[in-house]
Structure 1
Amino acid sequence: MLKSARKKDRDPEGRMPLVEHLRELRDRLLKALLAFVPLLIVALFFSKDIAEFLSEPVPRCTSEQDPRALAGKCAVLSQIGITSPFTTYVKVGIMAALVASAPVWLYQLWAFIAPGLHKNEKKYAISTVVVGTPLFVFGAWLAYKILPLAVPVMLSFSVDGSVNYITVDDMIGMTVKLVLAFGIAFQLPLLLCLLNAGGVVSGARMLGWWRGMVMGIAIFSAIVTPTDPLSMIALAVPMTALYFAAVGFSLLNDRRKRRGEGPELSDDEASTLDLTPDDIGPTQPVGAPRALPEQATGEADGSAGRRVNGYDDIT
């Protein structure tokens, strides 16, 4: 009963006291946990398989005496310490549960933020989710496909006669970091389109940035990818193409805005104002205001005061 009354009294624009905001946040977190905990229990049964999948890009040696290991063409996958297998097992399960429950906790985050957004802001937020999710998935897929090519290149720098030992934690951490780096990097065009749609930056200005953007993308790709040119090119080329796609979208969006809003004025130019009343012609004089019915006549005595054009002394 109290909960239904609380929902009825809620402001239609999403305004509420701080206590209500905290209560709303608590409810959203509980709902997200109700989705996360069961998926965590399920993911723990498959943690070993998931860890195997994430560490698959490593070219493995059968033993330390493998000639390929001494030549730096493969590595020995290891787990160091008594607690290392268990901590890896738990971390992989938590990570898998977070990914699997992402639709639920992302929706709860959206439901917590949405009441405070305007209608056009909600539209942009929904478009961000619809377009941003495929871009992130494509970037993550590209990163996982690059790893089997990048790891042998990095192992080739080994000192002759040495054996590489790669822990499962390091390999899983590297895989996750590279997947996140590629996925987040592919959100660049979406960010630029949102800035243009919000009127922050124009398409012509973004086009003028192209030299600096291409150089910045190349530097970013060299930093986040492993130390081989193949991975850098694999990230830089799609990001550059997506940047120019965002510029093209922004130019078209600016043209559409100009058609809908008419000619633009500079910041120091005043627009012309038409001060002519709508109901008379430009050469006709403006007459005296018409009196209200109760003001049309005045009294001869001083009880009502002297009226001029229907108005007494007071008004």
Structure 2
Amino acid sequence: MADPASDKRERRGSTRRRRSRRYNPDGTMTLIEHVYEFRRRLAYAMLAVLGGGILGFIWFGVSVGPIPSLGDLLTAPYCALPKDVRIEFEGRGCTLLQTQPFEAFLIQLKVGIAGGMVLVAPLWLYQLWAFIAPGLYSKERKYATTFVAFASVLFAGGAVLAYLVVPTALRFLVGNFGGDQFATALAGDKYISFMLSVLVIFGVSFEFPLLVVMLNRVGVLKYEQLKRWRRGIIFGIFVFAAFATPGNDPFSMLALAVALVLLCELAIQIARLHDRKLERKRREEGWDGLADDEAAPFEYTPSGIDEPDEPEASASRRGKGGSAGGKGSDASANTDDIT
């Protein structure tokens, strides 16, 4: 009688083998196996995010050696305001206001999850990659790896720029309007939401030049098109920066617009070098006079057709012998008929 536990272990082991790159290098799966694989990868990613959220929740109020706490990092731009324009409570120093019950807990939870996702980003990004990669060719995997690496660097660069610009923007918004009739005491929820939105908007906006480069690599955008569209792209960037920046101050708008213009110009120059390289290759191989819908004149010499592998060759020889024998018997039959 079969043991149900051993059968379950055997099925589980066979499933792991089907998902393994060693036993299944091309990643072929049935539809239900894809669903199970997606569920498994999603569960691992959620566990990673949960663990990162716990770490971020703890880090919000605890400094780690020379690294300040996450709360201090977020409140630093507000605390950098002059003391004559913000309210300080006696014995409390620079603090934000809690205007609702449990508001501080919810802020710490939200910031902890956001910070934790950044801390454990390699873990949940790996789960996403492990689900997608088996369906890609080796060249596509190389491009995807490069894209993710540069996207991470650009997002971090945008967030750092936003963090450096926010103190100047706050000083302009708070100190230059209202005269002596207003003092600043920001509510915690609104201030933290403002900070997170600025960081995310700057980080995501910095991905646009990378998208231009990737579209040029796959042949969707050419340098000549980008050259003609350069003025429109610059104008669109300034319009986008004017509407996307949450504070509506000129400093953050100009910082985002100028940074994007420089990055887009760099992307256009990279596209120019790439297209020039492709054009040189076309001239060397004689493709430059071909239309887009005309086949390239490849010099292709078939190899391995006359001399196939040994099993196929023996089978081919057996087939030829059989067909030859059949022809011989037909010939003899025809001779007998004539006789």
**TM-score, normalised on structure 2?**
0.73
CA spacing shift, 1:298–1:84, aligned 2, 3 Å: closer
- Choose the corresponding residue for 2:274, options 253, 263, 269: 253
2:107·2:189 contact (CA, 8 Å) conserved in 1? yes
Q: 1:268 to 1:50 in 2, by over 3 A?
A: closer
Shift of the 173–68 alpha-carbon distance from structure 1 to 2, 3 Å rule, reads: closer
* 2:14 alignment partner AA: A
The DSSP-based 3-state class of the residue aligned with 1:142 is helix
Q: Which residue in 2 is equivalent to 1:4?
A: 13
Q: 1:118 corresponds to which residue?
A: 137
CA distance in 1, matches of 2:293, 2:53: 60
User: In the alignment, which residue of structure 1 is the partner of 2:242?
Assistant: 222
Structure 2 residues without counterparts, runs of 5 or longer: 1-9, 62-68, 88-93, 300-322
Tell me how far apart the structure 2 counterparts of residues 246 and 127 of structure 1 sit (CA, whole Å).
15
Question: Are 2:167 and 1:142 equivalent residues in the alignment?
Answer: no
Cα deviation, residue 120, structure 1 = 2.2
The amino acid of 1:31's aligned partner reads Y
User: 2:125 is matched with which residue: 84, 88, 106?
Assistant: 106
Q: What is the match of residue 56 of structure 1?
A: 76
Whole-angstrom CA distance in 2 between matches of 1:300 and 1:38: 83
Q: Does 1:197 align with 2:204?
A: no
**Pairwise CA distance, 1:296:** 8.6
Contact residue 55 and residue 168 of structure 1 kept, 8 A: no
Q: Where do 1:14-53 residues align within 5 Å?
A: 14-48=27-61, 49-53=69-73
More helix by share: 2
Partner of 1:68: 85
Residue 145 of structure 1, CA deviation? 0.2
Counterpart contact for 1:54–1:171, Cα < 8 Å: no
Change over 3 Å in CA distance of 1:16–1:304 after alignment to 2 = farther
Report if the CA contact (8 A) 1:44-1:90 is conserved: yes
Aligned length: 282
What's the RMSD between the two structures over aligned residues? 3.0
Cα displacement (A) at 1:234: 1.3
Cα distance change of structure 1 residues 67 and 36 upon mapping to structure 2, 3 Å threshold: closer
Query: Quick one: which of 168, 183, 187 aligns to 1:163?
Result: 183
Name structure 1 gaps, 5 residues minimum: 275-291, 307-315
Which residue of 2 is the match for residue 233 of structure 1? 254
What's the CA shift for 1:163? Answer: 3.2
SS of residue paired to 2:186:
strand
1:186·1:239 contact (CA, 8 Å) conserved in 2?
A: yes
1:180 is matched with which residue? 200
Residue in 1 that maps onto 2:334: 302
Aligned identity (percent) is 33
1:282 maps to none
